[in-house]
Amino acid sequence: MKRDWQTTFSERIAPRLASSGLHGTLKVVVEGEPKPYYLKLNGTVRLEATPPKKLDGIVRGSAEDLEALLAGRMSLSDGMLTERIGVSGDVQLVLGLGRLLGAA
């Protein structure tokens, strides 16, 4: 069964992000999808379609690669080194996200 990255995010990552202390807004660009998603972190976690006023970082990848990252089958550093996952923006936010995903 092929899992959807949004399901994996909701079940596995969102609860840990809510208590992580990370704050900011990430744009999530999924290859082949017409519009990006916006991940807002501020003690709660929301995945929205509405662009924010301030953007702190961008994460890019295919739906399959994002799901592998969120499920723990690919590390953020491996995804970046192989150029399957792209990240840019606030260094502290990106590093915090990488630590959280690495502990998944």
- Where are the domains positioned within the chain? 5-99
Q: 5-99, what's its fold?
A: Nonspecific Lipid-transfer Protein; Chain A (3.30.1050)
- For the whole model, what pTM was predicted? 0.87
Over the stretch 42-57, which tens digit does the pLDDT of each residue have?
Answer: 888 888 999 999 999 9
Over the stretch 35-44, which tens digit does the pLDDT of each residue have?
Answer: 999 999 988 8
As to burial, measured by CB atoms within 10 angstroms (0-12 exposed, 13-18 middle, 19+ buried), residue 4 is exposed
